[in-house]
């Protein structure tokens, strides 16, 4: 097992290296100038002053030399300083923005994932009944309607129908728990609903597929109680294929919360990334991208390890 983990860790390191090269070159190819964003597009600033500012920030280095400098710091755990926010490191800005993103993502997952799996199982067990059709409709709506449309529609409906405007911005959980939860209530519900559709459809399909297997028919023929057949034979085997999608969904929720953060003014990592792109903050873009890549790779490794727990036939070697 440990050999498998080491092998996967080496593979993940290679993937991170390739991602860093691709993103670094792509970021440097973006139109715009970080120096102009930082000091302002004023006609009174001479070209010599702009060149001096670029040299100070290291923006005039050739791409490979600049990448080598950045990669050396990355190996040491130092992602450098923000190009735009003077005196602030990329690490510190990510740490500060990580708390809202984690809280938003974990609460969304705590609501959306169990609900999706539970409703998917019910829909599969009650195929083509009065209960199955509305659940399938809800899953299709979750898949087809973008979350920003749901968010804008919810805000419009609440303001017009109930004259209620949910709070925007951010308050730390430990400073004011009630206000913190009030801020997160609507984005958490929308995020949980948006990611639940795919998982619910996959769970339903897996349950239907497992229910047609011979060992399920044999278990029922032997006279096992319906509860034992469902828990011991159907659910455990159905969740094997769902596990892959579950890991991808969790990674997506951690790295793809930018829309909810922008709409509800939550200062998370997604919103920080969008701001960095708009300001051409190259070091911040690189640091955030590597964070997202690491989240996806760790999630995939966790899913592979979970396979061995759920399915005894899977051997990690």
What domains, with CATH codes, occur in the chain?
2-75 (no CATH), 94-279 (1.10.3720.10)
More confident: 315 or 286:
286
The angle at the Cα of 277, spanning 273 to 279, to the nearest 5 degrees, equals 115
Range name among 113-117, 137-141, 231-235 with the lowest pLDDT average: 231-235
CB 183 within 8 A of CB 170: yes
What is the spatial distance between Cα 51 and Cα 61, in angstroms, rounded to a whole number?
12
Across the chain, mean pLDDT equals 82
Q: How many CB atoms lie within 10 A of CB 145?
A: 14
pLDDT above 80: residue 15: yes
The structure tokens 């949980």 sit at: 192
**Residues whose CB falls within 8 Å of the CB of residue 119, separated by 6 or more in sequence, listed in order:** 135, 138, 139, 196, 200, 203
CA distance 294 to 300: 10
Cβ count near 170 (within 10 Å) = 21
pLDDT value, residue 255: 64
pLDDT category at 50 given cuts 50, 70, 90 is low
Residue 292 Cα distances to 56, 95, 113, 273, 296, angstroms: 29, 13, 20, 10, 6
Q: Quick one: which of 20, 27, 23, 54 has its CA closest to 278?
A: 27
């Amino acid at each position: 097992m440990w050999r498998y983990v080491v092998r996967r860790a080496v593979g993940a390191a290679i993937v991170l290296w390739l991602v860093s090269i691709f993103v670094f070159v792509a970021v440097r190819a973006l139109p715009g100038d970080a120096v102009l964003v930082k000091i302002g597009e004023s006609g009174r600033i001479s070209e010599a002053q702009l060149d001096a500012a670029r040299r100070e920030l290291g923006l005039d280095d050739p791409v490979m030399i600049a990448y080598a400098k950045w990669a050396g710091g990355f190996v040491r755990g130092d992602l450098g300083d923000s190009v735009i926010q003077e005196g602030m490191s990329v690490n510190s800005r990510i740490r500060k923005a990580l708390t809202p993103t984690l809280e938003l993502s974990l609460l969304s997952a705590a609501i959306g994932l169990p609900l999706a799996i539970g409703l998917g199982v019910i829909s599969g067990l009650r195929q083509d009944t009065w209960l199955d059709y509305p659940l399938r409709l809800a899953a299709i709506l979750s898949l087809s309607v973008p979350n920003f449309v749901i968010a804008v529609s919810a805000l419009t409906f609440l303001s017009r129908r109930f004259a209620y405007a949910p709070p925007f911005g951010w308050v730390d959980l430990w400073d004011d728990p009630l206000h913190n939860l009030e801020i997160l209530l609507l984005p958490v519900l929308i995020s949980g609903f948006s990611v639940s559709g795919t998982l619910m459809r996959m769970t339903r399909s897996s349950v239907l597929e497992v229910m047609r297997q011979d060992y399920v028919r044999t278990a029922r023929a032997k006279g096992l109680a319906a509860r034992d057949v469902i828990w011991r034979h159907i659910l455990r085997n159905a969740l094997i294929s769902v596990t892959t999608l579950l890991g991808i969904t969790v990674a997506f929720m951690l790295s793809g919360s930018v829309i909810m953060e922008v709409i509800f003014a939550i200062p998370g990592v997604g919103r920080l990334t969008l701001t960095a792109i708009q300001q051409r903050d190259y070091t911040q873009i690189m640091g955030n991208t590597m964070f997202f890549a690491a989240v996806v790779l760790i999630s995939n490794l966790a899913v592979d390890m979970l396979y061995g727990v759920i399915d005894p036939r899977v051997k990690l070697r």
